[in-house]
Structure 1
């Protein structure tokens, strides 16, 4: 039965004596099953009675609240989740062996069953509290505190990992293994994705990461029947469905069916009504699906829902509303009588900070919307398609020729309108935006010479571009990926290094740098004459 080794913790042991550790774990698994079947309130009710006496009840209860807080992005929810996770950490602390820590091998060998579980639960509490700290607070003291939590968590996972694996021989090992897989997998995967200059600083501070090792740990955790299976699976989904697109290393299925995908997202909205935030994730994906189909009013509809219901990035949602409306003919009625110019003017007033900084996509949207400040604004030519590039949309449609052809028609029409309009200070930049996006369409169509010409036009215009400085390094990256597909390895490496070293302080710089790092790492790992890497677009 759950027991403590110190008399000081007798109360905790007495309170927990009614349930064995196995019984606690079994009940927490039942609560997670309820959560995964959309019975959110019932799940919390099952956990709540023992949050002050069971480390696992406390941790899982706090984890559910943290997931809710990250989706609602409400200050009260974030604060409540932080306080609950702090309480969970205190519960775990009561079960831990007193100092020295697990990193001391002689101490690790003397840990009993509960103390081994408590170490992993405690490390997980630290990690989740750090995430909430970065999400909520913006001052430097909070960042330092969050960094300390991350480091302490990492040390427990890293220093204790081999000892936990070798020492623990109890029947409930699957949950302990799952905890280690989640913690070590998350750290290794996340750290491995940072560009070298950031990674050097982290390695100096004692951090290191191996992507393949991290992915294998998370896969092991996700496929096992343990309390962290859901967290491991969510992290893997985040990596494969989001980060790989940003890094330009995603793999696309040639038979992707948007109709089926859209039906699944619509079904997801019908599955439950308790946590509307799950609907918002579906709205976001549906917005892009309709964008790929150039159904501008439907894309606007979902952007409008997001702008009304979600707190995550109102600047982004309103920008997308305006961008969708701007793609409609001038004489076509706007839904709800809205005006894209007024919406663009609202965008800068809606910016927010996450982890102390404004999200890069919000900064990009604000910069693009600035030209609408003027009483006589110069309209953006293809703002939806430009933002679609930032979210990897052109690669998403690369196996759907009819969708690529539709995008090309839109770009050709925009180019014709631009050529027929009086020149202004934005004209050159607008032409370069169209060249970049046309290059991506040509690449999707297999017209590689035409694509190369488009990317090269942007690069040759470097000194003339006034506002959209992100275009040049991104064109170099797209050109390098084109060269990789053609087996022109040395030329590709040269361009990647140029994009990496010669350009600073442009929109979405971190995303471009991550892509450069990923492409160079892929080239280094595969010394063959030719490998295929999808572009961000």
Structure 2
């Protein structure tokens, strides 16, 4: 915000915060700039764990910018804590902000005396952006709300935000074209914005009711998304698949990386524009606000839509939404370069995406491909630089320390991550403390610290009400492991055995009693359904076998959760070996007769084998992992039907086969072995390369084939969780085909 600050030094009077309706256009503009500065600097306190301080400062202003900041305060509280009362407060504030922004936008359009031909955005665009931001936040709150009606309203608001942001980006694209910004000589291509519709005069949505039926958003309309590099005006394309197919993630390596802003490895300068806050194009404070905010909002929107599971994404495309992960990510990186609240939110969304959502995924580009510009991959060095930048901006925030711990975990340094999390418990924001406690619970589970895992999950119950059923269940799972450790110890301690048995029984029985209280669009949360079914299964088995509930538990539910949260990606070889040992049938505490009957249950056996195959695959023993999975995949599907059956085992096994095909195709040692075999057969180097490419293409085709099977699978209990991994895999496969010019089979 260096340029913005330069305009505003000394502007701190009350009149500068609350613009007067009278006065010259110059005075009004100066007052508006001052309002932006005050509101944005106040809202930025949120990113330093001071929401209360942010609200106190924001209440001193009466502009739409301050109204947006107040809405952002409650929005952050609501999405970090998932508390219903705060969600209602956020909805009310954001609705008020929408109404004010709409009125200010229409007023600005009517009264503007600015007739400059070289302006980037139409009059009122700053208020249109506020409107879109409020709609986007309101939509996210509504979709997370328990009500189906609120969820539907949320999708309507997403639609309106999409149209508004599309109009703003159209204006920006047209301005860049007038400036003659032509693309450098590279493969990068970005389709131009579609022509403005009749319902969008001025560059953004002009009425609040005419788009109720969503008739102006066909499936091929992806909006005019701004990538990290602006590429000028290219030939018009209308087919979305052609647009995506033309995108290339390679950058022009002849251009130097920017020296200022966030350090990157693939961010060449382009006509002074890609330098972000130092650009000679965006030097006006209001333009900076619009540009950084529009990139942040549109980036979030495109990324969100791209992340939904395949079955749901098809529904969204019918009503006019089609996500674009690559463009969304590029826009977020562009916004993150600006030292303002828009840049901070963009940076946070990037870290949440990379450290969180991509942490669940297995089918991703290699680090080498990411260094070359693969946007769909995980850019480790770039995320580290972004995190360092944010921590320097907001040194008192536990939120960035939390992300630092997740970054450590993704680097397979779980002890380091746990150390950071344990020292990060004094945040001024209870929501950040809750996130920190949940991550500490998971990491403790991964390293086998079951007492720490239990205590941290029970702490989560005290800190928020996101899913008490899951918290109690996982705390109970930790106690099962403690009970089994005591039961199988060389020196028996009967008091310790009974203590853990009793505590495990208490926690497991508590979990279903609070399940279903948290819902998503009038439906129970998948993991709460999973918990209720698991406990019911063990209760029925307990009665059938005549054993206690805790002794009726089969394959380690803790290690099953490690697989479902994909903690395997964060583990090194010794931790993986320890995990494999915890899956042994010898860990069961039932009698030999009861144990035999548990092992004979098809779904129980399949769950264990899927978990075991994933561990063996992570250890690099691919052939062994495939053999295990093939035995699972021949099992009768009917054996997984029933109210308490673990129906996710077969689709999970199918997904694991896709992962195997991908890692084999990307493994340099396997490719080297293939070349060596060819050389021994006196095959020419050209033939060897052809054979290697054929082998790699076969692995890619196999990977896509398995992913397509899972994407088309009938509904199962954890289809959304598996579906996120599948969607990321499909995006990666599409990227890989495009980069190599390989058509799909």
Do they superpose with TM above 0.5? Answer: yes
SS in structure 2 at match of 1:49: coil
TM-fit CA distance, 1:371: 2.0
Q: Could you tell me whether the CA contact under 8 Å between 2:302 and 2:324 is conserved in 1? A: yes
* Change in CA separation of 1:280 and 1:335 when aligned onto 2, cut-off 3 Å: farther
Matched, 1:303 2:457: yes
* Change in CA separation of 1:54 and 1:239 when aligned onto 2, cut-off 3 Å: same
TM-fit CA distance, 1:495: 2.8
* Change in CA separation of 1:172 and 1:435 when aligned onto 2, cut-off 3 Å: same
Provide the residue aligned with 2:143 in structure 1. 134
- Per mean C-alpha deviation after superposition, the further-off stretch among 253-262 and 388-397 is 253-262
Matched, 1:452 2:626: yes
- Per mean C-alpha deviation after superposition, the further-off stretch among 436-445 and 161-170 is 161-170
SS in structure 1 at match of 2:59: helix
SS in structure 2 at match of 1:225: coil
Provide the residue aligned with 2:704 in structure 1. 493
Matched, 1:385 2:559: yes
Matched, 1:521 2:687: no
* Change in CA separation of 1:67 and 1:454 when aligned onto 2, cut-off 3 Å: same
For residues 207-286 of structure 1, what are the structure 2 equivalents within 5 Å? 207-249=321-363, 251=378, 256-270=412-426, 272=427, 274-286=428-440
For residues 386-465 of structure 1, what are the structure 2 equivalents within 5 Å? 386-397=560-571, 400-414=572-586, 420-422=592-594, 423-424=596-597, 427-463=601-637, 464-465=639-640
SS in structure 1 at match of 2:341: coil
Aligned residues: 511
SS in structure 2 at match of 1:97: helix
SS in structure 1 at match of 2:339: coil
Greater fraction of residues in helix: 1
In structure 2, runs of 5+ residues without a counterpart are 1-6, 8-17, 176-281, 365-377, 381-407, 488-493, 544-548, 666-698, 741-745
In structure 1, runs of 5+ residues without a counterpart are 2-9, 531-537
TM-fit CA distance, 1:505: 2.4
* Change in CA separation of 1:437 and 1:415 when aligned onto 2, cut-off 3 Å: farther
Matched, 1:290 2:444: yes
For residues 36-435 of structure 1, what are the structure 2 equivalents within 5 Å? 36-50=47-61, 53-97=62-106, 115-140=124-149, 142-164=150-172, 166=174, 170-195=284-309, 198-249=312-363, 251=378, 256-270=412-426, 272=427, 274-328=428-482, 329=484, 330=487, 331=494, 332-333=496-497, 339-351=503-515, 352-374=518-540, 376=543, 377=549, 378-397=552-571, 400-414=572-586, 420-422=592-594, 423-424=596-597, 427-435=601-609
Query: 1:405-462 CA distances to partner (integer Å, 9 max, x unpaired)?
Result: 1111111254777894434367332222221111112112222222112212221223
SS in structure 2 at match of 1:235: helix
* Change in CA separation of 1:235 and 1:198 when aligned onto 2, cut-off 3 Å: same
* Change in CA separation of 1:12 and 1:150 when aligned onto 2, cut-off 3 Å: farther
CA distance in 1, matches of 2:728, 2:520: 25
TM-fit CA distance, 1:338: 5.2
The structure whose Rg is larger is 2
CA distance in 1, matches of 2:120, 2:106: 7
* Change in CA separation of 1:37 and 1:202 when aligned onto 2, cut-off 3 Å: closer
* Change in CA separation of 1:112 and 1:459 when aligned onto 2, cut-off 3 Å: closer
With structure 1 as the length reference, what TM-score do the two structures score? 0.85
TM-fit CA distance, 1:65: 1.4
CA distance in 1, matches of 2:412, 2:34: 44
CA distance in 2, matches of 1:244, 1:189: 12
Q: Could you tell me whether the CA contact under 8 Å between 1:382 and 1:414 is conserved in 2? A: no
CA distance in 2, matches of 1:197, 1:310: 31
Q: Could you tell me whether the CA contact under 8 Å between 1:62 and 1:81 is conserved in 2? A: yes
Matched, 1:27 2:34: no
Q: Could you tell me whether the CA contact under 8 Å between 2:43 and 2:58 is conserved in 1? A: no
* Change in CA separation of 1:284 and 1:43 when aligned onto 2, cut-off 3 Å: same
Query: 1:257-295 CA distances to partner (integer Å, 9 max, x unpaired)?
Result: 22221121122213x3x3222111111111121111111
CA distance in 1, matches of 2:33, 2:739: 54
* Change in CA separation of 1:447 and 1:511 when aligned onto 2, cut-off 3 Å: same
Q: Could you tell me whether the CA contact under 8 Å between 1:195 and 1:517 is conserved in 2? A: yes
Query: 1:86-130 CA distances to partner (integer Å, 9 max, x unpaired)?
Result: 2222221231126999xxxx9x99998761100000111111112
Query: 1:173-194 CA distances to partner (integer Å, 9 max, x unpaired)?
Result: 2111111101211122122334
TM-fit CA distance, 1:231: 1.6
- Per mean C-alpha deviation after superposition, the further-off stretch among 504-513 and 298-307 is 504-513
Provide the residue aligned with 1:7 in structure 2. none
TM-fit CA distance, 1:465: 4.0
Provide the residue aligned with 1:534 in structure 2. none
* Change in CA separation of 1:462 and 1:129 when aligned onto 2, cut-off 3 Å: same
CA distance in 2, matches of 1:187, 1:149: 11
CA distance in 2, matches of 1:418, 1:475: 28
Q: Could you tell me whether the CA contact under 8 Å between 1:462 and 1:472 is conserved in 2? A: no
Supply the RMSD in Å over aligned alpha carbons: 3.4
With structure 2 as the length reference, what TM-score do the two structures score? 0.63
Q: Could you tell me whether the CA contact under 8 Å between 2:509 and 2:535 is conserved in 1? A: yes
SS in structure 1 at match of 2:334: helix
CA distance in 2, matches of 1:529, 1:421: 56
